Amino acid sequence: MSKKIIIAVIAILLIVFVHWYFSPYLALYNIKKAINNKNQQQMQRYINRDSIKESIKKQLLAEMQQDTDLNAKEISLTTQMIDKVASDSVSDNHIAENIRDGNYNINNIILTRNGFNEVLIGSANAEATIVLTRFGYSNWKISEFRFQ
């Protein structure tokens, strides 16, 4: 192969890697921009509601089961109540409020990679860690809130 082809292949691979590596930062920037502009359509592109709802339910149930000894009927009622709370928690406005009011200042966040397909977003004052999950090559969505 000629030198030009090798250089072109290396340049393309470098561009692809840089785009892949910085794509969660771009997604985070776009999420914050959608929140600040109150653009729900743009915000919806970055939210996986089903995953968020399931993670909230799982965390609330785990917390509830740790704190109390419930019988089967109480567990059923509690599960229904938690399902309702989790469903109400995944609206665009509620998620935007959690991010805006949850001390996630774009200038002082801590972004930590957890493997190739998950990024944890937090800050020193945050009440929860936001989990971004990769969908496809460089599309990221909020998939979970991990409460402290």
Per-residue pLDDT in tens (0 to 9) along the chain, 148 residues = 689 999 999 999 999 988 888 888 888 888 888 888 888 888 888 888 888 888 888 887 777 777 666 666 676 777 777 777 777 777 767 777 766 665 555 556 677 888 878 888 776 666 678 888 998 888 899 888 887 6
DSSP state of 123: -
Number of domains within the chain: 2
CB-facing half-sphere around the CA of 39: CA atoms within 13 A: 12
Nearest to 89 by CA among 123, 63, 53, 134: 53
Is 85 found in the same domain as 55?
Answer: yes
Specify whether 110 is located in the same domain as 136.
yes
State the Cα–Cα distance between residues 68 and 91, nearest whole angstrom: 29
Q: Does pTM surpass 0.75?
A: no
Residues 142 and 105 in one domain: yes
Please report where in the chains the tokens 């929140």 appear, as a residue: 35
| Residue ranges making up the domain that contains 30 | 1-47+92-148
pLDDT reported for residue 146? 81
Examine the domain organization and report whether 74 and 102 are in the same domain. no
> How many residues in the chain?
148
What pLDDT, on a 0 to 100 scale, did the predictor assign at position 6? Answer: 93
Does one domain contain both 84 and 143?
A: no
